[in-house]
Structure formats: C-alpha cells, structure tokens
Chain A
Amino acid sequence: MRKMEGKVLLEGRNLDFRYPSGDWILKDVNLQICEGERIGLVGPSGYGKSTLAKLLAGYERPTGGSVLWKGKPLPSRGYCPVQMICQHPEKALNPRWRLKDSLTEGWTPDDELLEELCIKKKLWQNRWPNELSGGELQRFCIARILGPKTEFVIADEMSTMLDAITQAQIWKVLLRQTEKRNLGLLVITHNMALAEKLCTRIIRLQELNRLPVGGIDCKKHVC
C-alpha cells in the first residue's frame, strides 16, 4: 500500500497512548512518512487523530513506543523540527500576549510571508487574540511555525474554520512553502475532497489503530 519515495522522515513505532486512568486511545500504531510525501490522516471524530498529531510533534509523550525523526528519537529540547498547526487557534495562542509576541516567539517571519498569508501586520500586531476572528488567528499560527528550522509540518484541521476562498488561498501558500523548502506535511482533515486534492497518500486511522476489542467497541459508541 505504501510507496517508498525516499528516506523515512518521521516514524511512529508501536505507539500506545492513554491519559492516566483513561482508556487506551491509541494502541500499537505504526506509520512512516517519507521524504516528498504529503500524507492525509482521516478518521471519525474521537478516534485519536489529534492525539496522534500531538505525539508526532512531541507535545505528548507516548505511553508506549517511540517517535523517530530521521531514525533518531524526536529531540525533546531545542527547536523541534516537527511543528504543528492546531485545530483551535483561539486555544493555541496565549490570550495575554499581543499577537506580535506570539508571532515572533520562535522566529521573525519576513514581510513577504506575512503578505502571502494576508496578515495585516500593522493593523493586527498590537491586538489581543480575542480581538481577531478564528481565521485571522490561524494565519498567525501558520506564520509562526514556518521558521527556518522547521522541517515537517502537521496541520491538524487547520482550515476547518476558514471560508472556501481563504482555505484555498492559505493552502496554496503552505504548499508553496513545503515545496520550496522541501518540508514534510501531514494533513488531518474531515474533508475528503480536500485530502484528495492535497495529499499523495491517505491514511485512515481506524485501520492503523489496533485497540483491543473492548476499546474499539467503546470508540464506536462515541463516533
């Protein structure tokens, strides 16, 4: 099923995850993402797509198994080469920081990129996150993770709060960036039309996740 296109960039090996005292969310999940691939990750709500994304980006540590970046464990300190764009920008930004501070925390994006993303820097940089709309905030979240040390981008439902025109526009920018800089890309989405348009390979989480029988039943119930 998988086409080997180049060397393996990001790998999840036998990943298990559960919150303390919770049910298993992920069990024995294996995936490899190679250079030059754009992966779409789809699956019903509540199946652990975002959890898998957090593990791969190093925001959560797996209960079992490991995340490998170019064959080595994902670095736990310093700039993480795998960066993630979250589903809810209003929760990803510090509400007590002005937007310019959030924007420049990791690096200082150049004006060209900001313009491409239609960020009205002069108008918006001194505002607080609650003064902009979700779609406007998401542009900041995209700009701030595209630093020079970023090598892989995980986009977790990043365009669900955008209208169709903005969605097309922002994806064009991100695709151009990933091509220009040869970044890896993992797209989590519910929109199959979008996944098919963007990705070279589509993974269904329900096929990867080997939850024990009881676990699968309870997951079926919530989806």
Chain B
Amino acid sequence: MNQKKTLLEVRDLAVSFRMYETGLRQRNLQVIKKLSVSLHEGEVVAVVGASGSGKSVLAHAVLGILPSNAIISGEIRYQGELVTDELRRNKLGTEIVMIPQSVTYLDPLMKVGRQVRGTKGTKEQQEKAFERYHLKKEVAKAYPFQLSGGMTRRVLVTTAVISGAKLILADEPTPGLGEEDALETMKNFRELADAGAGVLMITHDVDVALQAADTIVVFRDGMTIDQCTKEQFLAGKEALHHPYTRALWAALPQNGFTVPASEEEWRG
C-alpha cells in the first residue's frame, strides 16, 4: 500500500467551537481532540464511531465549510499539499467532493436534476448517473420533498459520482437505503477506488462499510482510538484489540446485540 500515492492526510486535527453563553461570555466546545487518518489512491477507508463523536466535523474541516465559530488546528494535506482556501477553490466540486449526511442539504426550491448537474456537470452525465442508481428520468424534474428517504440518498450519491472526482468524502451515505441500494453504493465506492480514486467514508454502519472498506478507523470522544483491517473485523472479537472495537462488534444485531455492561468495559 505504501508505494501508492497518499491522497489525503489528516494529522492531529483538533476542532473546537466558540459558543456564547449568557451575554458575551464565551466558552470553547472541543469536538475533535486528536484525529489522524490517511487515505491512499485506490483505497476505501471507513471512519466509524458513535454519534456525536465528531465524524461529520472531519469532513467539514477538510472542505472548509465549518461555521465561522470553529477553531481548527492540525494539518490537512491533499496529495502532499497543505489544504488552503486557494486549493479548495480549485479542487472542490471537481477533484474533491462530498456526499453530505443530512438529506436537508438539498435545496428545497430547486429541481433535483439541476442540483445534481450543479455548475459543472452536463445533462448526459446526470442522466447516466441517475440510470446507474435506478432513478427514473422524471426524478430529475422532482423537488426534494417529493422523494422518499432512500431516493434522496441516491440523489445525493449521484451528485458526487457525476464529476469524476479523485477524493470522495462520504458522510453517512447509506442510512435509509434498502439493503440492495446500500450494497450498490458500496460496490460503486469500490469501483471508484479501483479506478484510482480514494473514498473516505464516514459512517456508523460497520456492517455496510465492511462491504467496501479496506481499513476501518475507529473514532471515539474526538480521538482515533483504533485502526484495523476489514479481515480483522470480520474474523470477530478475538482478532480485535481495542475493547471499544470489540464492543462495537458485539453490539451488531447478528453478533449478539449486546450492550456493554458499563462504560469501563470498553474504555480500556
């Protein structure tokens, strides 16, 4: 894996938000304490972790779309280059794309076809992408509120695959998708990666992530705590080192659905 070019490298990223309390009193809310992850060409990395552990913030930090009260430290490099506003201007939307988490990221007042085309895509590209994700042609003329949860999700995925991007940040791409569609999305990520792109998938759905991911990075309380290969995770509890990763494995419905008795059990 080492001879492959590094696409994205995040080192010691920390993010906090400045928040106002009563009046002008401020306090800082630390969401990411220490996060390191690297992604090579042809690789799918899944960042998994509990809700509220700051997973989405990672993607937003790379894209530079955190709100203005965010304080960021650490290093983010794209192809070895430090990610700056200028780099973002040139690469975002073409080489670096994101599939957002919330279905509310679509503009409620614009037909989805136009939103998927954006400013750079063509109609043919959009239609091809729609076909690939089994979206009817008419869907392009629908407004977001007319789509089901799963359809909206597929529309969001098409926004990213339309452009031939090199780095795809997928923020929870699968909730609300049927099993088949989720697997299809994973297959597509795999294909995109095999064609030379890198996919950083942020998810809580370990099950689905395992279909495509080479590496699983476990994220908790604002820190990366464990990293394991897909094979390790599939092998089960014994092959996993960190207690939290083990608890995560055991909590899957097919592996027992067990809730850790106490926090200490997986704090390690």
Residues of A within 8 A of B (CB): 19, 22, 43-46, 50, 87-88, 90-91, 132-136, 157, 160-169, 171-172, 190-194, 196-197, 218, 221-223
Task: Name the distance in Å between B268's Cβ and chain A's nearest Cβ.
Answer: 14
Residue on A nearest B133 in the bound complex, by CB: A222
Asked whether, in the complex, the Cβ of A192 is within 8 Å of the Cβ of B179, the reply is: yes
Asked whether, in the complex, the Cβ of B50 is within 8 Å of the Cβ of A163, the reply is: yes
Q: A45-B151, A46-B148, A133-B52 are in contact. Are A165 and B178 (CB under 8 A)?
A: no
Number of interface residues of B (CB under 8 A): 45
Task: Name the distance in Å between A138's Cβ and chain B's nearest Cβ.
Answer: 8
- From B52, B154, B247, B254, give the contact of A132 (CB < 8 A): B52
B residues less than 8 Å from A160 (CB atoms): 175-176, 205
Residue on B nearest A19 in the bound complex, by CB: B146
Chain A interface, DSSP helix/strand/loop, else mixed: helix
- From A90, A135, A190, give the contact of B182 (CB < 8 A): A190
Asked whether, in the complex, the Cβ of A164 is within 8 Å of the Cβ of B151, the reply is: no
21 contacts between A and B (CB under 8 A): A19-B146, A44-B178, A50-B149, A87-B176, A90-B104, A132-B52, A134-B51, A135-B204, A136-B51, A157-B149, A160-B175, A160-B176, A160-B205, A163-B50, A163-B51, A165-B248, A168-B257, A168-B258, A190-B179, A218-B136, A222-B136
Asked whether, in the complex, the Cβ of A133 is within 8 Å of the Cβ of B178, the reply is: no
Residues of B within 8 A of A (CB): 48-52, 56, 101-104, 134-136, 139, 146, 148-151, 153-154, 172, 175-182, 204-207, 247-248, 251-254, 257-260, 266
Q: How far is the CA of A46 from the CA of B136 in the complex (A)?
A: 12
B residues less than 8 Å from A190 (CB atoms): 176-179, 182
Residue on B nearest A46 in the bound complex, by CB: B148
Q: How far is the CA of A218 from the CA of B135 in the complex (A)?
A: 11
Asked whether, in the complex, the Cβ of B49 is within 8 Å of the Cβ of A223, the reply is: no
Residue on A nearest B154 in the bound complex, by CB: A45
Task: Name the distance in Å between A53's Cβ and chain B's nearest Cβ.
Answer: 12
Asked whether, in the complex, the Cβ of A223 is within 8 Å of the Cβ of B178, the reply is: yes
A residues less than 8 Å from B134 (CB atoms): 221-223
Q: How far is the CA of A87 from the CA of B252 in the complex (A)?
A: 20
B residues less than 8 Å from A164 (CB atoms): 204, 206-207, 248, 251-252
Residue on B nearest A44 in the bound complex, by CB: B178
Q: How far is the CA of A47 from the CA of B142 in the complex (A)?
A: 17
Asked whether, in the complex, the Cβ of B248 is within 8 Å of the Cβ of A161, the reply is: no
A residues less than 8 Å from B154 (CB atoms): 45
Asked whether, in the complex, the Cβ of B251 is within 8 Å of the Cβ of A168, the reply is: yes
Asked whether, in the complex, the Cβ of A45 is within 8 Å of the Cβ of B206, the reply is: no
Asked whether, in the complex, the Cβ of B101 is within 8 Å of the Cβ of A134, the reply is: yes
Asked whether, in the complex, the Cβ of B52 is within 8 Å of the Cβ of A135, the reply is: yes
Given contacts A164-B251, A169-B251, 10 further A-B contacts (CB under 8 A): A45-B148, A45-B176, A88-B103, A157-B176, A160-B205, A161-B175, A166-B204, A171-B257, A191-B253, A197-B257
B residues less than 8 Å from A90 (CB atoms): 102, 104
Residue on A nearest B101 in the bound complex, by CB: A134
Q: How far is the CA of A135 from the CA of B253 in the complex (A)?
A: 18
Asked whether, in the complex, the Cβ of A45 is within 8 Å of the Cβ of B259, the reply is: no
Asked whether, in the complex, the Cβ of B260 is within 8 Å of the Cβ of A165, the reply is: yes
Asked whether, in the complex, the Cβ of B104 is within 8 Å of the Cβ of A168, the reply is: no
Residue on A nearest B179 in the bound complex, by CB: A190
The 8 A-B pairs with the shortest beta carbon distances in the complex, nearest first, are A45-B150, A135-B51, A163-B204, A160-B175, A193-B253, A133-B52, A164-B251, A168-B251
Asked whether, in the complex, the Cβ of B253 is within 8 Å of the Cβ of A194, the reply is: yes
A residues less than 8 Å from B135 (CB atoms): 222
